[in-house]
Structure 1
Amino acid sequence: MFIVELTTKTGKVCESHATYEEAKRRVEQFPAESLTDMPLLFEELPDGSQRLVREDGKPLQWHRLPDDRPAGPDEALPLCDESSGLLGEGRWTLVERPGPQDDEWDDEPLPLSED
C-alpha cells in the first residue's frame, strides 16, 4: 500500500494506492499550480509504520507512524495576535533612542606608543 500526501492551497490531500505506479501517476496528474509543498509518497510497512519513497521507487531511511502526522488545523496561523491592541494603523508610538551620557564619552584617546 502506498500513500500519497499532497499539501495544496486548499488543504491536505491524502490518498492510498495499491501500487507505486498508481501513486506516482496520481502525483503526476495533480495540477502543480495548486501545490504549496513537495508531494510525498509513503510505503506502508507490515508493522504499520510508513517509509518515504524516492522518485525511483527505492525507500528512504525516514520512517513515520500513522500517528506522527502533525495535529492541528490545516489553515495558516496568524503571525501576530491582533487582539493585543499594540498593532495596527495609528497605534505606533515613536520612542527616542537614549543618547550617550556626557561623562561616558569625555575620555581622551590613548596616545600611540612609538616603539
Structure 2
Amino acid sequence: MNATNGYILGVALKELLPIISSTNDIENLDLVDRIEWKELLGKSIPNVTDSDDNETVRTRTTLTIEYSVYNALNVLQNQFLTIFDAKRIYRAFVVKMVLFAAIDKRINNLNK
C-alpha cells in the first residue's frame, strides 16, 4: 500500500481524538485537550527528531487531506496560539505536532 502524507496525517489525527476531543468525532471536534504540547515539543523521538536521513530534506510539502482533517488542524492551530503564547502558528507546525503526538502515543503512551 502506498500511503500518502495526507492519509498518514489523517490517521495520526484520528488516533489522537480520544485524547484531544470529548466527542471522538473529527467532524464535531470538541477540544478537551489532554496533551502537554509544550512538553511534547521538547521531547526527543527516536528515529524522528534525531534522524540523519538526507532524503527527508526533499520531501514534498503539499498535502491532500480530507476536509474534516483540514478543519481539525484549523481548530488546533487556533488553540496553539494560546498554548504557545504566539501571534502566529504555521500550519506546518500543527502538522508536525500532530505527527509527533501520534508517534509519541504509540511509543511512550502519551501523557501517561
Larger RCO of the pair (alpha carbons < 8 Å, separation 6+): 2
TM-score computed with the length of structure 2 as normaliser? 0.20
Which is strand-richer, 1 or 2?
1
TM-score computed with the length of structure 1 as normaliser? 0.19
Larger-Rg structure: 1
